[in-house]
Structure 1
């Protein structure tokens, strides 16, 4: 059974262990793009396990690598994942900042390719509404 299957079936601890093993291999090869993808996926699993520090640390490492490769699509997705981690931790201002950066980066990607945006972007804007948080999804222009 693969790590994705473990995550899907709820065995997040086993999935995290397998991602960490794969990460060691990606670093030994070295395959930096795969390393970044594994870091981001591990961060997502750690967030699901309520390990906010681990989730943020892994996503930040992934963002650095994707940025170094000028991989705007992946960087935008990681910024969105970072926003999710900060939102889960209750830091709405930082989450909003990261979601906006995700949209800005995604817009750069679309502008560079001169393609129209399709569907909904990776962004969600966080607004405080009394004591609740409301998520407003926005499209990339």
Structure 2
């Protein structure tokens, strides 16, 4: 593995209203097809900065990082991933990087299992329960 491939990843958990943003990767990572906007953390970049940058690059949506939800080694990819709660502040979510992203969806809490059938990282699940459920 190269050093490039071992960089940690930042994932943006973007909530707007009663929905959370998912993107469908053009190339699935194993069984991962739908996921949060995410990408490698560049040198000299914080996970918060990477989450905001990747969201804008992939979806055109401008977001402000709110809080760090947690980090783990993803059980399916083996990559270190940082989950960052983000709030939209501008733009509209579209497929902005067609070479990386094949689609996007705003999912209600009840729809999440259709996109992520294997379940979410517990701190992300807890955050979304609080953010999306009445």
Name the TM-score, length of structure 2 as normaliser.
0.28
Compare relative contact order (CA 8 Å, sep 6+) and give the higher one, 1 or 2.
Answer: 2
Which has the larger share of strand? 2
Q: Which has the higher helix share?
A: 1
**Which of these two proteins has the greater Rg computed from alpha carbons?**
1
State the TM-score, normalizing by the size of structure 1.
0.27
